[in-house]
Each structure stands twice: as structure tokens, then as C-alpha cells.
Amino acid sequence: MPVRPRIRVRVREQVLYDKLWRLYDALVQREEYEPEAAFIIDTVRRHKTAPGNKLLDVGCGFGNLHLYLKSAFRITGVDASPTMLRVARKRNPDVTYRRGDVQSLRLRERYDVVTALDMLEYCLDYPSLERALANLARHLRPGGVLIFWMDVVKENFRQDRADVLAPPGEAPGFALFEYSYDPDPTDTVFQFVMLWVLREGRGLRVEVDDHTMGLFELKRVQDILARLGLAVSLFELDFSGEPFTELGPIFVCQRPAS
Ligand SMILES: C[S@@+](CC[C@H](N)C(=O)[O-])C[C@H]1O[C@@H](n2cnc3c(N)ncnc32)[C@H](O)[C@@H]1O
């Protein structure tokens, strides 16, 4: 008689940056951040007219990017999750980290570069996206540069998109199945479901983590940036060439040097 594996299933909402952080961390390869850092350093060099090198990274996660940016900038990392900040501090003891929410962020300092990478999708409607962008812009010095990107916008959203990811190496012990679907294309949100399958003794554990994410039109994002007085100097939906082929639009915005 074959032994049937025991399968334990748990469904929760938005636990990736808290309960499931170890899995997320094991999946992300730190070296993937090296080309992102090179892109940021080069973009800042071409677009910034402010003289300083202070960088504010909002929604900084584990601080992996900072490993490759900290030789070029004096970095302050901000995140809403205490767990992410704890890991980031351990990873980069020489970087300043603070807890903060992009919806209410008010730091005393101003920065030459502000980044918000893969985090504005957590705004669920245009008013909250505008509030977040206004808070990011308010922390920019004249002549400074704001860089942000979102993986998914209305224009590149793929209904029922599915991906399977696993950490490298043989028998890593878990895999992730990601699924995106939009039950109502007329609103500004979609569901991003992560299904983690983990070996647990002789059985399996399945963690379902359901995220509600924002889905915005490029034109409306550009309108917000114009209202905030920012000049969008680069805007690419298809960033061709490795390793950004999967990425959505990249926004590089300049705050005029008044
Ligand atoms: C997909 S991760 C991206 C992390 C990092 N920027 C990167 O590219 O690896 C999104 C991060 O945004 C943070 N976050 C989500 N909503 C936030 C908010 N309202 N204010 C600040 N951080 C937030 C999460 O805690 C998480 O660390």
C-alpha cells in the first residue's frame, strides 16, 4: 500500500513580508540586484543635477539592492514591515533604516535620489497612488531624481498569468506557483496569489498567500507626475535586454532645479 503524503493547506492574506519572509528570502538571489544597482547608478549619473549623494529607498525590503548601491550613495532605507527592516539592518549594518509607510512618510531630510522599486503596487486606487508619489516627491531636493517601477500596469497585465519559481540547486524543498487574475477589469486592483508548496517531513505543506495589488494606467500615472511638477525623462514599457525583460515601466523623474 503506497503511503499517501499528508498535505496541510493554509490560506492567508499578505504574509510574504512577515510570516513567510524566509521562503521569499531563499527564493531571491542577491546577485539579481547587481544589474538593478548598475542601472540606478548610471541613470542617476545622467539625470541628477543636485550635487549630493543621499538616497532614500522606500519599500526597501531586505535591503539586497543596498549591498550593491552603498558604495555609491549614503542610503536611508524605509519599509512598513519590521521583519524586512530587521533583516535589512543585519545585512547592511552601515545603512540607516527606518520604519515608515509611504502613505504618511515625513522625514526631516531631503534626498538627491529617491527610489520606490516594486512597491507602489500596494496602493490600491489613484488617490493613494497620488498620495504616495507626492510623499516621495516631497523628499526630493531640487535637481534630484525619483526612480520607481511597477512590475504590472494595465498595459502589460496578463489575465491568468502563471509562473513557477524555485530556488536553485537540487531538491530545494519548496517551490512557488504565482497566479495573477483580475475579477473586475473596470477597477484598479487585481489578485496576485502565491501558492508555496513545501516538503514537511513525509508530507507537504501548502501556504496560500493572497495579495490584492493596484493596477494603474500609464497615462494616469503620468498625469499625477505632471501635477506634482515632476519631469518624466525616461519612460519605457519594454526595457529590452537582460535582465529587465520581464519588468514593466521604469519611471525616471526629475525635480526641476527651481
Ligand atoms: C515586492 S517588495 C520589494 C522590495 C524591494 N524594493 C525590492 O525591489 O526588492 C515590496 C516591499 O514594500 C513594502 N511595502 C508595502 N507597502 C508599503 C508601504 N505602504 N509603505 C512602505 N513599505 C511598503 C513591503 O513591506 C515590502 O518590503
Rounded CA-CA distance 237/245 in Å is 10
Q: Is the pTM value of this prediction over 0.75?
A: yes
Indicate whether 25 belongs to any domain: no
Is position 24 within any domain? no
**What spacing in Å lies between the alpha carbon of 7 and ligand 1's midpoint?**
31
Instruction: Say how many C-beta atoms besides its own lie within 10 A of residue 170's C-beta.
Output: 4
Of these ranges, 16-30, 205-219, 243-257, the one predicted with the greatest mean pLDDT is 205-219
Ligand 1 site, residue 124, Cβ cutoff 6 A: no
Is residue 144 within 6 Å of ligand 1 at its C-beta?
A: no
Mean pLDDT along residues 138-146: 97
pLDDT of residue 2: 72
Name residue, grid cell 513580508. Answer: 17
Q: Is residue 220 located within the same domain as residue 202? A: no
* Percent of the chain predicted with pLDDT > 90: 73
Asked whether the predicted pLDDT for residue 197 surpasses 80, the reply is: yes
Note whether 89 and 186 are same-domain residues.
Answer: no
Note whether 94 and 70 are within 8 A (CB): yes
Q: Residue 162 maps to which CATH number?
A: 2.20.130
Does residue 122 sit in the same domain as residue 144?
yes
Query: Cα–Cα distance between 64 and 21 in angstroms, integer?
Result: 14
Asked whether residue 248 falls in the same domain as residue 172, the answer is no
Which residue has the CA at smallest separation from atom 8 of ligand 1? 117
State whether 97 and 222 are in the same domain.
yes
Ligand 1 centroid to Cα of residue 1, in Å, is: 48
For residue 235, the model assigns a pLDDT of 66
Q: Supply the mean pLDDT for the chain.
A: 91
- Say how many Å lie between the CA of residue 148 and the centre of ligand 1: 12
- Residue 243: what pLDDT? 41
Please give the distance, rounded to the nearest whole angstrom, from the Cα atom of residue 171 to the centre of ligand 1: 29
Is 182 a pocket residue for ligand 1 (Cβ < 6 Å)? no
Residue 102 in contact with ligand 1 by CB distance below 6 A:
yes
Instruction: Kindly report, residue by residue over 70-115, the tens digit of the pLDDT.
Output: 999 999 999 999 999 999 999 999 999 999 999 999 999 999 999 9
| Enclosing domain of residue 36 | 30-153+216-254
Q: Is 61 in the pocket of ligand 1 (CB under 6 A)?
A: yes
- If asked whether residues 233 and 142 sit together in one domain, one would say yes
> What CATH number should be reported for the domain holding residue 95?
3.40.50.150
Residue type present at position 33: Y
In a domain, 1, yes or no: no
Q: Please give the tally of structural domains in the chain.
A: 2
